[in-house]
């Protein structure tokens, strides 16, 4: 057992070989602090689902260790996974059963009492906006409803840790927001979430930190803020009410806080040191100098920008 005080999930040098020549994981080491929401992103075939399957003991690593609450998930899976709720790939659900029947079954598996099961069914289906479907066969559910029900099933037993593989796939924007709010609520309850996703904007809005993986190797693991700040563009796009004369452009070039200036499609693009304080001072200086501004936009770097730059020829998370 490793020290489980700080980390809910920890892997050490995970390697997974398929057919002796395909290396799905190549020395993957990850630490997920308790109470954090951590996003796991990378292209198709990068090793995301393989990592999750090792963590949940669906497959065993060729080398390395995976720990849940400091317990080896592959040597002692029953003890390690007791406090885990998981959603892995697209789960099969018996379409001739109702949510009440399915959740009752799993409640019994988890050793819950009948009264506790019924109360929990009402609670989780309300969270996922499925209360009106409690006694409807899931075969009549839409793709989005099936996904929401699968998420409900993953946390039915009120686990400390959630391990979710593409939890919002198939959901509309409203459903995605509801899941995001749910994960934030779980975080307030000191729960830990480790999730894979191809929706980078959603990862940026939901997660405390992000892990980039490609070809089975971890490339980046840091906070969203640190990742995006590492690739700061340090430019401000300014649109003026009237086209600037040469003299006016030259005046702006002489501003102490501006490192450079160019005109791009009628927009004045200013180079600066990237700090919020400097941006504010430049705006104040422009206004006090009599310039009439209709838009002022410091350029920001998105998680997607960093992803594309990091992955090279991989042009998106699939």
Which pairing describes strands 63-68 and 71-72: parallel, antiparallel, or unpaired?
antiparallel
Does residue 22 lie in a domain region?
A: yes
Q: What is the pLDDT of residue 198?
A: 87
Does residue 107 lie in a domain region?
A: yes
- d(CA 262, CA 160) in angstroms, rounded, equals 53
Count up the domains in the chain and report the number: 2
- d(CA 245, CA 190) in angstroms, rounded, equals 58
Q: Verify that 43 and 191 share a domain, yes or no.
A: yes
- d(CA 103, CA 107) in angstroms, rounded, equals 6
Q: What is the pLDDT of residue 92?
A: 67
User: Exposed, middle or buried by CB within 10 Å (0-12, 13-18, 19+), for 206?
Assistant: buried
Q: Verify that 106 and 202 share a domain, yes or no.
A: yes
Does residue 304 lie in a domain region?
A: no
Apex 88 CA angle, 29 and 132, nearest 5:
140
Does residue 316 lie in a domain region?
A: no
Q: Verify that 20 and 90 share a domain, yes or no.
A: yes
Q: Verify that 253 and 150 share a domain, yes or no.
A: no
Does residue 2 lie in a domain region?
A: no
Q: How far separated are the first and last CA of the chain, in Å rounded?
A: 35
Q: What is the pLDDT of residue 116?
A: 94
* Residue matched to tokens 């079954």: 105
pLDDT along the chain (318 residues), means of 10: 74 93 94 96 93 96 96 95 88 84 93 93 93 94 89 93 92 90 94 94 93 95 87 86 93 93 91 89 95 91 86 51
Does residue 48 lie in a domain region?
A: yes
Strand ranges (E), 136-196: 161-165, 192-196
Q: Verify that 177 and 134 share a domain, yes or no.
A: yes
Does residue 310 lie in a domain region?
A: no
Q: Verify that 195 and 268 share a domain, yes or no.
A: no
Domain harbouring 277, CATH code? 3.30.70
Domain harbouring 159, CATH code? 3.40.50.300
Does residue 303 lie in a domain region?
A: no
Q: Verify that 196 and 253 share a domain, yes or no.
A: no
Is the separation of the CB atoms in 103 and 94 below 8 Å? no
Q: What is the pLDDT of residue 317?
A: 40
Q: Verify that 163 and 113 share a domain, yes or no.
A: yes
Q: Verify that 133 and 189 share a domain, yes or no.
A: yes
Strand ranges (E), 34-73: 37-41, 63-68, 71-72
Domain that holds residue 267: 235-298
**Last residue of a domain, which of 202, 223, 244?**
223
Q: Verify that 39 and 164 share a domain, yes or no.
A: yes
Q: How far, in Å, are 99, 117, 145 from residue 132 at the CA level?
A: 10, 17, 12
41 in helix, strand or coil?
strand
Q: Verify that 24 and 67 share a domain, yes or no.
A: yes
DSSP state at residue 144: H
- d(CA 175, CA 169) in angstroms, rounded, equals 10
């Amino acid at each position: 057992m490793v020290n489980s005080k700080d980390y809910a999930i920890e892997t050490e040098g995970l390697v997974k070989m398929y057919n002796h020549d395909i290396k799905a994981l190549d020395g993957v080491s990850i630490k997920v602090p308790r109470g954090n929401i951590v996003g796991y992103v990378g292209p198709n075939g990068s090793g995301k689902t393989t990592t999750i399957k090792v963590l949940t003991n669906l497959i065993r690593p060729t080398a390395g260790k995976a720990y849940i609450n400091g317990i080896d998930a592959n040597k002692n899976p029953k003890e390690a996974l007791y406090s885990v709720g998981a959603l892995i790939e697209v789960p099969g659900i018996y379409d001739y059963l109702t949510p009440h029947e399915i959740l009752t079954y799993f409640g019994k598996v988890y050793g819950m009492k009948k009264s506790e099961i019924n109360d929990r069914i009402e609670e989780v289906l309300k969270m996922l906006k499925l209360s009106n479907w409690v006694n409807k066969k899931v075969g009549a559910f839409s793709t989005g409803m099936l996904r929401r029900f699968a998420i409900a099933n993953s946390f039915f037993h009120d686990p400390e840790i959630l391990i979710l593989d593409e939890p919002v796939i198939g959901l509309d924007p409203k459903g995605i927001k509801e899941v995001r709010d749910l994960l934030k609520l779980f975080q307030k309850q000191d729960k830990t979430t480790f999730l894979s996703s191809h929706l980078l904007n959603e990862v940026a809005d939901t997660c405390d930190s992000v892990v980039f993986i490609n070809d089975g190797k971890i490339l980046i693991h840091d906070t969203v803020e640190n990742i995006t700040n590492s690739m700061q563009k340090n430019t401000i796009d300014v649109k003026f009410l009237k086209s600037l004369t040469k003299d006016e452009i030259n005046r702006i070039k002489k501003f102490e806080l501006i490192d450079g200036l160019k005109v791009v499609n009628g927009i004045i693009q200013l180079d600066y040191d990237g700090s919020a304080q400097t941006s504010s001072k430049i705006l104040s200086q422009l206004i006090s100098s009599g310039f009439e501004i209709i838009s002022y936009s410091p350029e920001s770097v998105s998680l997607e920008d960093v992803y594309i730059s990091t992955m090279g020829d991989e042009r998106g998370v699939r």
